[in-house]
């Protein structure tokens, strides 16, 4: 049989998204590494800055913990815990300060009831279930040449893209809050703030890449459904 019989051309759709995702990940790693060499003039560690920001916002109940890894920092609204990684917790670099402040931005969002964060929290539990069930329905629909069932499955699978879309304003707003706080509370000098901004901008690009990848996959699956309908 000819090679073309085995080749799924729809994967071509994913190539630009894959390249963008790889670039975004490389960019955030290289940017963080670059500005990790610049120590903040006040000598604050990431954990110290996080504590100052949280306390300044009345978030004394938010616990700061040290976790393993590099750039695995996160804020968990379910138990109100801010986790800082090896590359952030004890680091005095401008990059670490920016990341710590960003995670604090999520804690502040949670405390003020920031709508996009509340929506994302609601999607956290249903997205994995819906997307898995959707993929199964999509597969069954394709196997039995039922385009309606396949489209329903794709709609559920698309919850992944919805989650990524909702994530964007949450991340952008957290970075905005972080930079405003670092400036207003004089936690970084004026000449250090642009470095922190570059780190956070590079990190934001990875979330854009995740959304682009999700949309590309949905478009690919639409092509597969369309091809299936034409064959039948």
Q: Which residues are designated catalytic?
A: 103
Angle between helices 193-231 and 147-157 (to 10 degrees): 170
HEC profile of 57-104: CCCCCCEEEECCCCCCCEEECCCCEEEECCCCCCCCEHHHHHHHHHHH
Query: String of b and e for 155-185 (b: at least 16 CB within 10 Å)?
Result: ebbbbbbbbbbbbbebbbbbbebbbebbeee
Find the DSSP H helices in the chain.
Answer: 14-35, 46-56, 94-112, 115-143, 147-157, 159-184, 193-231
């Amino acid at each position: 049989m000819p090679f073309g019989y085995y080749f799924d051309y729809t994967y071509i759709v994913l190539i630009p998204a894959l390249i963008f995702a790889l670039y975004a990940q490389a960019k955030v790693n290289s940017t963080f590494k670059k500005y990790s060499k610049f120590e903040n003039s006040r000598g604050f560690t990431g954990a110290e800055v996080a504590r100052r920001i949280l306390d300044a916002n009345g978030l004394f109940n938010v616990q700061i913990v040290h976790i393993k890894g590099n750039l695995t920092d996160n804020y968990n609204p379910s138990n109100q815990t801010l986790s800082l990684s090896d590359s952030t917790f004890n680091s005095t670099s401008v990059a670490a300060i920016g990341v710590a402040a960003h995670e604090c931005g999520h804690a502040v969002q949670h405390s003020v009831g920031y709508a996009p964060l509340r929506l994302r929290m609601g999607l956290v539990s249903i997205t994995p279930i819906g997307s898995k069930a959707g993929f199964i329905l999509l597969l069954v629909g394709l196997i039995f040449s039922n385009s309606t069932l396949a489209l329903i499955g794709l709609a559920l699978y698309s919850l992944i893209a919805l989650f990524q879309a909702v994530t964007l304003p949450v991340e952008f707003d957290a970075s905005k809050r972080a930079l405003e706080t670092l400036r207003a509370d004089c936690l970084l000098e004026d000449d250090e703030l642009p470095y922190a901004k570059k780190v956070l901008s590079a990190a934001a690009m990875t979330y854009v890449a995740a959304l682009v990848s999700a949309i590309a996959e949905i478009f690919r699956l639409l092509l597969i459904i369309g091809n299936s309908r034409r064959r039948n």
